Structure 1
């Protein structure tokens, strides 16, 4: 019997799309955090970080309540003959939610380290706040932002609990590698489970190796500045 590689393609496709969405949202939310103050700042940080500490099944349950057919969003989508639950789009949503905090906190930490003198220099030159953000802050914070992007991709690739709850286990549609491992093990098919474990471990090692290599390439310049 031929080995079905569909979970690999679904996982890669899901993680790539989720990575792009998470990258944009994480950087923008990090900028938002830096531009507010007081209790609002504290509340935003709690909300943005919460999926990182909640169990994936709790995240999945909340997404199920939010996107289910009986929710306001679900009823709105039904008017347009659309659905989220048990679709490939649901795997992307769950991957975005669980990996977002890693991207957000990495971007926030990197942006907080940008020299404020550079920001004020941009303002002195008449640059708008968005131009300063895109042309000064992001390039200066790029190593940290890139690391967050890699980690969020790896987290999206390994997402299991929330994905299973809102996307289910539909072979060829929503079955990602972690879900394939779980159900292969439950069925006693240790050969298939072992192959998938080896594949996802290899991919994770490549991703983390790439992150460490990129960080190592930039470390000399950081030491020089210090």
Structure 2
């Protein structure tokens, strides 16, 4: 049995999750503590992939990173590198569609915790960096962790945008969702069923663990 779709999907999802975790936390923290003109426009753009069909997102990425696209042309001319139809393109698609979940969770977590603790630390001479690592991030961690889990699950299940920008190349871009679709197209329902069971298992475990973890923290908080 060819297990490359499973290994490739895990590789892409883990890398995409790491990227959205770092960028999502940074951007959520930056926008949560600042108010400026145009902030709502920026946040609306960030959340767009959540409401757009994946094929529309994929077309936009193809338009930007294709051979004649703005960024695709630069990559090709400057580095002789073509992004589309590679596993890097699958990572890009996973990052774009999962980023809103990470950002939304992190932004809500940063806005929810008690800011008086941060102000107290500032008055005692703590730097912004120290306050972030020792107060802000630990207090927001439950919400951030939820965003990480949801982002991973979303990246693992990405289909439409991946198909548009990465295509289906066996052994190269054949992620689990694509493998399911093309297995059904080829009449190999047994293989598709195995992949579906794996996807259901990953999704169920992610949601179950997240709900259980949140439940334990809620109980501990209520006891306090």
Task: Note whether the superposition's TM-score is higher than 0.5.
Answer: yes
**Structure-2-length-normalised TM-score:** 0.96
How many aligned positions are there?
Answer: 223
CA-CA distance at 1:114 after TM superposition: 1.0
TM-score by length of 1: 0.95
Render the CA deviation track for 1:65-109: whole Å, top value 9, x for unaligned.
Answer: 110110232222113211100001001000000000000000011
Task: Give the Cα separation in 1 of the matches to 2:10 and 2:211.
Answer: 21
Name the structure 1 match of 2:47: 49
The residue correspondences of 1:1-226 to structure 2 (distance < 5 A) are: 3-79=1-77, 80-224=79-223
Q: 4+ residue runs of structure 1 moved beyond 6 angstroms?
A: none
For residues 136-167 of structure 1, the C-alpha deviation after alignment (integer angstroms, 9 at most, x for no partner) is 11100111110110000000000000000000
Unaligned ranges ≥5, structure 2? none
Deviations 1:185-223 (A, max 9, x none): 122211111111011111111222221222222112322
Q: Deviations over 1:125-145 (max 9, x none)?
A: 112223212211110011111
Assess if the C-alpha contact under 8 Å between 1:33 and 1:44 holds in 2.
no
- The CA deviation at 1:4 is 1.1
Instruction: Give, in whole Å, the separation in 2 of the partners of 1:162 and 1:131.
Output: 39
Q: Choose 215-224 or 171-180, whichever is displaced more.
A: 215-224
Secondary structure, aligned partner of 1:39: coil
Instruction: Measure the CA separation in 1 of the matches of 2:70 and 2:140.
Output: 39
Deviates more, 1:201-210 or 1:110-119: 201-210
